Structure 1
């Protein structure tokens, strides 16, 4: 007696293609909302409420929440929904320790590149810095923050160490949140532009020690300005 084979029901190609895209879209939308403080530190809501605010369905938002929790940006509370993690000074101090170590090494690596490669990197970094400068003079703080984030991302990515790039990504997401949260209270945005240009000059000249020192001084000054502002928000946990 012949047995009947049961065939699995085929999933339409369009549906297979759509699922990851919807999750990626929800992830990107949530991350943007967290980074620009539309979902401010301490904000708490159900997945359905978040989905409604984003104009999305709950399923991709649920998957996005899982990814964001792994990155330390949200916390899922049993029966209480999703909590946007706060930015605490103690946590930010640890984050800056990591940033200084990785970006300092990246600056050294860039300054040790052949002259043609140094010129190319210096040109890209200068373009981001010029955008920062223009945004600062125009009073466009979000644009300043985005250009600043691109400068620091380029700095690490162009150093050519994939592990450093992967490690710094989550750290940068968290430090960018702190920058955007406190941007209107900061008084030294012009100093960042000048410090970036000093770092670019050291990279262009091929001076690894100077590049490291310029990066170190820049990040520590920014940290020492940022932490008191976070203290003023009274946030205790990342």
Structure 2
């Protein structure tokens, strides 16, 4: 009975965490939003205990700040934050991609990346930018999973989450992402060839260009935080 109760408690915490994170990443809970634990629990229709545990997890991921006696505040992402995040990703992801290329992965291993790239191309045909962004995110997360370093994946995934809100706000302020999609196709081709240095260069150039484009939009908007 005790084990069953622990499992149910963990499930409730997981549910609260998943729902709150989705609210934050979708900007339904906007940066700067602040509420007490009882207010958040009421919003979710849950008890306070799993909500508190979920908020602690989200604080560790840099998405919320727990304020004594005031509950939780959704943290903003500034242009400076985005610059730092992209600098780190530009160091981590090309390395992971090059390491994966050295293993000369076959078509079966690369199938999830092929699917994500094809989904990006299909989304542009519609066009459906939300579907494109989901496929783009899936490509990057899957590549790190294929690399197989769990700590690197955890670090990069946290950065992806922190950057997601700003990326979604600016998604429709950019040109249609044909170039970005083509770059993913080129990266996939280099992985197939086992071209470690080629994929490292392509991935670095991809991240650097994306960072310049995003930061330019943030500066043009004149809104320092999201």
From 152, 159, 164, the equivalent of 1:171 is: 159
From 174, 186, 209, the equivalent of 2:197 is: 209
SS in 2 for 1:179: helix
The whole-number CA distance in structure 1 between the counterparts of 2:15 and 2:166 is 23
| 1:156 partnered with 2:144 | yes
* Contact persistence 1:198–1:214 (CA under 8 A): yes
SS in 1 for 2:147: coil
1:135-179, CA deviations, whole angstroms, 9 ceiling, x for partnerless residues? 233233322222111100111110122221122121121122322
CA drift of 1:83 comes to 1.1
| 1:36 partnered with 2:26 | yes
* Contact persistence 1:110–1:118 (CA under 8 A): no
The whole-number CA distance in structure 1 between the counterparts of 2:101 and 2:3 is 48
Cα 1:121–1:224 change in 2 (3 A) is farther
Query: How large is the Cα RMSD of the aligned pairs?
Result: 1.9
Cα 1:139–1:38 change in 2 (3 A) is farther
Cα 1:125–1:35 change in 2 (3 A) is same
Residue 128 of structure 1 corresponds to which residue in structure 2? Answer: 116
Cα 1:208–1:145 change in 2 (3 A) is same
CA drift of 1:12 comes to 4.6
The whole-number CA distance in structure 1 between the counterparts of 2:166 and 2:109 is 27
SS in 1 for 2:66: strand
Look at both structures and tell me which one has the larger radius of gyration over its CA atoms.
1
Residue 49 of structure 1 corresponds to which residue in structure 2? Answer: 39
From 5, 16, 21, the equivalent of 2:11 is: 21
Gaps of 5+ in 1: 1-10
